[in-house]
């Protein structure tokens, strides 16, 4: 079988005849590629039942204390900052939702073993942001630490920072065993999500990264200034309305990088960029859908290879990617770096690109979805919307009451009664039903299913 990369057709006239809305497919003529082969899951216990990728074994706050976030103040007891900066194994559980705005310099997660469980929040869930101006920095920074899990929160940077080079939505720096899952981010004036320094065992999954602010409208910088090999998974995400870095891939040799089953929409200059300034990135780009939008044009590159400062040739493995629209699907430079098999074993069995497209649009991002994410998904389906020039406004979030939790073990008393746990005893990490999964992880799965409409009670 030849490698399906849906590459550019030979003549611009044929493209014009067929129209930019048609999905184009062809076989690569530069390399005969083997199918991906069997996945090789990362070793260790999964952080939660649906955890995937190289970071799937992150411990997070397992076996730790429950810290309730009870107010939206900048700091002090019951604040989000209080939980993020605490020491020891801990889980941030939300008794209040809404907009959490850091009015002084945002906290940095330096202490390991943390889970931020945004799916526990009532109402419209959680938005984290800053107040703009001179003290504004990236709201969620994971730095010089390990074993951190962040799920079901939004970062919406609705006010411009006076420190644009430090104004990501999420930054992971010199850290390992990190999962960023089911988050949403928009309006960063640097990257929406940024990996910096020596990271390893990182998963970024099931998330929506949209509306970067020009002239630095970037989706994802997966690595920057790495000193050694890294393992990173970018799976099931949406990049939409960002000029380039959808995503950016710049890793040393012997790294294990996978970009699998993402939906990438409306790039202006490039979608995925593979760099060689740290010796040549090895990457598997499999089962993704690249979709042209109103800001895309015939010069936009779907998979680009950047050789500025090259110190070694990249290894780019492509399989079953779909390219929709009139743009340069796989650049001629990238074609010369294609390899016939994955540089390393992937951690999951990829979905077929068309099926992944539907699943990603149905499930990605923080839930319940706000109007911003709803519009992003609508734009992708309708090939509409544009890159924005200024931040927008945070969606009004519906209110809601927190669930009852008599014993403060993080779980809804009614759920505990119906699932064999004890609502009068803090049994967070017990296994009441004997399925090998702690009560609290089963509860978080239930909360996620509830938000996604997969459970009715």
Domains and CATH numbers, the chain: 12-382 (2.160.20.10), 413-451 (no CATH)
Token code pair at residue 235? 């799976």
- Mean pLDDT calculated for residue range 382-394: 97
How many CB atoms sit inside 10 A of residue 434's CB? 7
Tell which residue, 49, 51, 130, 121, has the closest CA to residue 92.
121
Instruction: Work out the burial of residue 294: count CB atoms within 10 Å of its CB; fewer than 13 is exposed, 13-18 middle, 19 or more buried.
Output: middle
Distance between CA 205 and CA 259 in Å, rounded? 10
Contact residues for 291 (Cβ-Cβ < 8 A; gap 6+): 263, 264, 265, 266, 324, 325, 380, 383
Digit-coded pLDDT (tens) for 284-306: 999 999 999 999 999 999 999 99
Cα four-point dihedral sign 33, 35, 38, 44: positive
Q: Give CA–CA dist 345/431, Å, rounded.
A: 33
Q: How many CA atoms lie within 13 A of 260 on its CB side?
A: 24
The pLDDT of 235-257, averaged and rounded, is 98
Q: Which residues, including other chains, have CB under 8 Å from residue 436's CB and lie 6 or more apart?
A: none
pTM over 0.75: yes
Query: d(Cα 303, Cα 67) in Å, to the nearest integer?
Result: 44
Residue 33 — pLDDT band, cuts 50, 70, 90?
Answer: confident
Q: How distant, in Å, are the alpha carbons of 97, 152, 174, 385 from that of 117?
A: 12, 7, 23, 31
DSSP of 291-328: E--TT--TT-EEEEEE-TT-SS--EEEEES-EEESSSE
Percent of the chain residues topping a pLDDT of 70: 92
pLDDT at 219 over 70: yes
* Cβ atoms within 10 Å, residue 224: 16
Mean pLDDT, the chain, whole residue set? 92
Answer yes or no: is pLDDT of 234 > 60: yes
Distance of alpha carbon 36 from alpha carbon 42, whole angstroms: 16
Split at pLDDT 50, 70, 90, the class of 13 is very low
Per-residue pLDDT tens digits for 304-338 = 999 999 999 999 999 999 999 999 999 999 999 99
Look at residue 290 in the predicted model and tell me its pLDDT: 98
Mean local confidence (pLDDT), 383-404: 96
Q: Residue with structure tokens 């938000």?
A: 451
Proportion of the chain above pLDDT 90, given as a percent: 89
Sheet of 200-205: strands edge to edge? 65-69, 90-94, 114-117, 146-151, 176-181, 200-205, 231-235, 256-260, 282-286, 315-319
pLDDT band, residue 129 (cuts 50/70/90): very high
Residues 149-167: what's their mean pLDDT? Answer: 96
Between these two residues, 257 and 457, which has the higher pLDDT value? 257
Q: What are phi and psi of 168, to 5 degrees?
A: -75, 170
Which token pair is 241? 């309305």
């Amino acid at each position: 079988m030849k490698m399906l990369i849906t590459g550019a057709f030979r003549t611009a006239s044929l493209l014009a005849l067929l129209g930019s809305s048609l999905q184009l497919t062809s076989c690569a003529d530069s390399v005969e590629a083997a199918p991906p082969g069997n996945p090789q899951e990362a070793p260790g216990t999964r952080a939660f039942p649906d955890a995937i990728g190289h970071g799937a074994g992150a411990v997070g706050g397992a076996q730790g204390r429950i810290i309730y976030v009870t107010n939206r103040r900048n700091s002090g007891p019951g604040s989000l900052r209080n939980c993020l900066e605490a020491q020891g194994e801990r889980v941030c559980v939300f008794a209040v939702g809404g907009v959490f705005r850091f009015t002084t310099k945002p906290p940095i997660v330096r202490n390991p073993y943390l889970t931020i469980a945004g799916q526990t929040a009532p109402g419209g869930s959680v938005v984290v942001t800053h107040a703009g101006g001179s003290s504004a920095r990236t709201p969620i920074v994971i730095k010089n630490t390990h074993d951190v899990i962040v799920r079901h929160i939004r970062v919406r940077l609705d006010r411009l920072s006076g420190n644009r080079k430090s104004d990501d939505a999420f930054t992971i720096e010199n850290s390992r065993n990190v999962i960023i899952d089911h988050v949403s981010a928009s309006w960063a004036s640097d990257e929406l999500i940024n990996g910096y320094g020596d990271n390893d065992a990182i998963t970024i999954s099931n998330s929506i990264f949209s509306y970067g602010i020009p002239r630095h409208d970037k989706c994802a910088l997966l690595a920057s200034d790495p000193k050694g090999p890294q393992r990173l998974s970018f799976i099931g995400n949406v990049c939409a309305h960002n000029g380039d870095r959808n995503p950016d891939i710049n890793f040393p040799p012997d790294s294990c990088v996978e970009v699998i089953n993402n939906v990438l929409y409306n790039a202006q200059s490039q979608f995925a960029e593979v760099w060689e300034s740290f010796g040549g990135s090895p990457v598997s780009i499999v089962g993704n859908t690249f979709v042209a939008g109103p800001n895309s044009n015939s010069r936009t590159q779907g998979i680009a290879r950047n050789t500025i400062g090259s110190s070694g040739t990249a290894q780019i493995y492509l399989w079953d990617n779909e390219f929709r629209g009139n743009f340069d699907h796989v650049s001629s430079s990238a074609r010369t770096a294609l390899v016939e098999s994955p540089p390393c074993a992937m951690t999951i069995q990829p979905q077929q690109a068309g099926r992944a497209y539907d699943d990603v649009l149905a499930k990605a991002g923080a839930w319940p979805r706000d109007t911003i994410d709803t519009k992003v998904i609508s734009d992708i389906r309708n090939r509409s919307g544009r890159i924005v020039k200024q931040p927008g406004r945070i969606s009004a979030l519906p209110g809601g009451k927190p669930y009852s939790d008599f014993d403060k073990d993080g779980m809804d008393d009614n759920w505990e009664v119906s699932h064999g746990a004890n609502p009068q005893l803090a049994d967070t990490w017990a296994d009441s039903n004997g399925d090998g999964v702690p009560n609290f992880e089963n509860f978080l799965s239930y909360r996620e299913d509830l938000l996604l409409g997969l459970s009715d009670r």
